[in-house]
């Protein structure tokens, strides 16, 4: 077997971050190969036919966090990507006939229906969130300062980067530094209770704190998850969420085209079994079918726990790293459904089944923070919440490529369910929980259940088995302070370089974490390029 590398970089996983990393590396002329286990690239950002004639974004379902630099550099629009805004951002109906409709320029007026005081607070609240989001925006495309010990040249470089971060923070007023501290440490509930009195306005923002986050909105640290969902934009409009025409798969198909246009080879149906390590350096991969593919370096787009506990031989890692990776917190508490509908739902709170603004929005069925808190407690005790938090999105109201004329598709993003059932297996309870989700929507929009022609239900176990998301974790690891920034995925390895020489992290398990951002892929490519150039320089000057 030849030990000469056939490629410069091998990427394990063709999720959006793997594709972004590959495209950036391909642009510099490197020979890159992406190996994807599934038959289709895109990871959790894919569009699939889940029922005959009905297509949908089957996992990730809405776009905002995708970094504008990535869109520009990869020329995703030239490769067919088109993102449209929702006509309204969010709709929160209640069972007693009230509702809150958040629409650009009209939200204040809507909030005032319930509390004039809350309406007056809204501008200042948004400014405060923007302060935090601006800091995050500055950080997402940078490797965090890496906490390394010793006095090496590398340590000096890290010191300079830590200094730059300090400088960035020093430019903030003391008041804004306090805001940052609040947003990084407090619970979303405590934070929102300081600002508002109305249940629905708090639920509107609180939902973002529990999305993919198996926690109560009153769990410390959840304010950060709220902020994490606020650093995005759609077509230049900040904090707005939108829809990619053709579904989330249109984003990753455009990325795959961008990568291919730079010579990247993409192989699907190619599951990696093991990272090949020789002389303490990653030098390729072994596929499930036994093939060996060699590269100068390897980048992993998969969850770090999956990487270190299944693909890297134990002997290559210290006991400390292994223990930490076994304890890497994964599990979103998310149950995901796709439904084919014969028509649009008519809500008791805002009747009508012809397309209206609220039908194009993220429809949040969880009317208060207390409700969300109970949903979490209930799931911890019983395995799933009897009154779940559901966001429903009906993308076919903005995109006629997804469903037959007159019919619709909807995404149901449901929380909270236990990543692992305290009692029983998900395969035995999937249908029962799927029925509960449909019945819950039906309570807000009677007739919804009868309009469901077909459905796909994905429990945490299904998310793991289908998409390789360990514990069904949509972020590749919880977004808690101990797993963020310089601790993502490990203190000392936040700069995309793993504990094994030649092995890199390029997925959502690295900074800045989950969501369809492209940022970990972008940042990892930079680290890989720097190292390969340095390696070549050293080799050239050895002679
Ligand atoms: C249900 C759900 C809803 C979400 N909603 C949104 C949303 O609306 N908006 C948003 O911005 N984000 C959303 N997210 C989060 C977002 O989709 C993820 O954080 C993001 O897709 C992670 O991207 P990634 O490229 O790092 O990893 P992934 O998308 O997980 O890609 C990793 C890839 O590695 C492959 N792989 C795994 N094992 C192997 C192996 N052994 N060999 C080869 N390949 C392998 C997988 O098949 C996969 O393609 C959602 C996620 C889920 C699951």
Query: Does the pLDDT of residue 165 top 70, yes or no?
Result: yes
Protein residue whose Cα sits closest to atom 15 of ligand 1: 515
CA 469 to centroid of ligand 1, rounded, Å: 7
**13 CA → ligand 1 middle, Å:** 9
The predicted model gives 393-404 an average pLDDT of 98
Query: Residue 416: is the preceding peptide bond cis (ω within 30°)?
Result: yes
pLDDT for residue 84 is more than 70: yes
- In this structure, how many other beta carbons lie within 10 angstroms of the beta carbon of residue 180? 16
Which residues have any ligand 1 atom within 6 Å of their CB?
12-18, 35-38, 43-45, 59-62, 65, 271-272, 301-302, 334, 336, 463, 467-469, 474-476, 507-508, 514-516
Report pLDDT for 1.
58
Dig out the tokens for 421 from the structure. Answer: 């059932």
Pocket test residue of 468, 496, 509, 513 for ligand 1, highest count of atoms within 8 A of CB: 468
The residue to mutate among 64, 302, 483, 505, having the most atoms of ligand 1 within 8 angstroms of its beta carbon, is: 302
User: What pTM did the predictor assign?
Assistant: 0.97
pLDDT in tens, 92-132: 999 999 999 999 999 999 999 999 999 999 999 999 999 99
**Rounded (5°) CA angle 267-269-273:** 95
Kindly state the average pLDDT of the residues 456-462. 98
The residues that bridge with 54 in the sheet, in sequence order, are 51
Q: Which atom of ligand 1 is nearest to the CA of 334?
A: 1
Rounded CA-CA distance 43/518 in Å is: 12
If you measure from the C-alpha of residue 367 to the centroid of ligand 1, how many angstroms do you get, rounded to a whole number?
Answer: 29
Instruction: Answer yes or no: are the C-beta atoms of 465 and 259 closer than 8 Å.
Output: no
Residue 288 CA to residue 246 CA, distance in Å, equals 32
Distance separating alpha carbons of residues 21 and 465, to the nearest angstrom: 24
Q: 71: CA distance to ligand 1 center in Å?
A: 18
- Tokens standing for residue 47: 């569009």
Interval between CA 409 and ligand 1 midpoint (Å): 21
> Across the strands, what pairs with 242?
63, 85
pLDDT tens digit sequence for 30-41: 999 999 999 999
Q: Give the whole-angstrom CA distance, residue 133 versus residue 153.
A: 32
For the segment 39-76, what is each residue's pLDDT rounded down to a tens digit?
Answer: 999 999 999 999 999 999 999 999 999 999 999 999 99
Q: Using the atom order of ligand 1, give the atom closest to the CA of residue 520.
A: 26
């Amino acid at each position: 077997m030849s030990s000469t590398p056939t490629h410069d970089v091998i990427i394990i996983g063709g999720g959006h971050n793997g594709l972004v990393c590959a495209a950036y590396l391909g642009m510099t002329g490197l020979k890159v190969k992406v190996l994807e286990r599934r038959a289709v690239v895109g990871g959790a950002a894919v569009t699939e036919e889940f029922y005959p004639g009905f297509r949908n974004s089957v996992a990730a379902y809405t776009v905002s966090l995708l970094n504008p630099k990535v869109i520009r550099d990869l020329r995703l629009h030239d490769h067919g990507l088109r993102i449209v805004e929702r006509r309204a951002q969010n709709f929160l109906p209640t069972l007693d006939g009230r509702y809150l409709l958040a629409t650009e320029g009209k939200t204040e007026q809507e909030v005032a229906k319930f509390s004039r005081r809350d309406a007056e607070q809204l501008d200042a609240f948004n400014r405060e969130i923007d302060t935090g989001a601006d800091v995050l925006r500055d950080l997402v495309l940078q490797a965090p300062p890496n906490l390394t010990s010793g006095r090496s040249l590398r340590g000096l470089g890290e010191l300079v980067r830590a200094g730059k971060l300090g400088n960035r923070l020093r430019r903030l007023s003391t008041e804004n530094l306090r805001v940052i501290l609040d947003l990084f440490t407090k619970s979303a509930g405590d934070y929102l209770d300081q600002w508002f009195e109305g249940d629905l306005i708090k639920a509107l923002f609180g939902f973002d704190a529990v999305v993919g986050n198996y926690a109560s909105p009153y769990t410390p640290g959840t304010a950060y998850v709220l902020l994490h969902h606020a650093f995005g934009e759609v077509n230049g409009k900040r904090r707005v969420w939108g829809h990619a025409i053709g579904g989330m798969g249109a984003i990753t198909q455009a990325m795959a085209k961008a990568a291919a246009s730079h010579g990247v080879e993409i192989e699907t149906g190619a599951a990696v079994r093991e990272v090949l390590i020789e002389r303490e350096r990653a030098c390729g991969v072994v596929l499930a079918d036994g093939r060996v593919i060699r590269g100068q370096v390897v980048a992993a787009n998969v969850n770090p726990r999956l990487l270190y506990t299944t693909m890297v031989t134990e002997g290559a890692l210290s006991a400390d790293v292994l223990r930490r990776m076994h304890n890497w917190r994964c599990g979103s508490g998310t149950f995901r459904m796709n439904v084919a509908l014969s028509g649009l739902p008519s809500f008791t709170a805002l009747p009508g089944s012809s397309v209206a603004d609220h039908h194009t929005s993220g429809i949040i069925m969880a009317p208060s923070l207390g409700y969300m808190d109970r949903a979490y407690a209930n799931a911890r005790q019983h395995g799933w919440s009897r009154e779940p938090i559901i966001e429903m999105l009906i993308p076919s109201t903005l995109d006629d490529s997804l469903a037959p004329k007159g019919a619709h598709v909807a995404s149901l993003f449901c929380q909270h369910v236990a990543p692992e059932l305290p009692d029983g297996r998900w395969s035995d309870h999937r249908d029962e929980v799927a029925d509960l989700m449909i019945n819950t929507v039906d309570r807000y929009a009677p007739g919804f259940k009868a309009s469901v022609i077909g459905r796909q239900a994905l429990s945490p176990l299904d998310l793991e088995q289908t998409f390789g998301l360990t514990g069904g974790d949509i972020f590749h690891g919880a977004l808690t302070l101990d797993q963020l920034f310089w601790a993502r995925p490990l203190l000392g390895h936040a700069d995309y370089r793993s504990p094994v020489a030649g092995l890199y992290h390029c997925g959502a398990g690295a900074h800045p974490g989950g969501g369809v951002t492209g940022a970990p892929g972008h940042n990892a490519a930079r680290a890989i390029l720097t190292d390969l150039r340095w390696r070549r320089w050293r080799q050239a000057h050895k002679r």
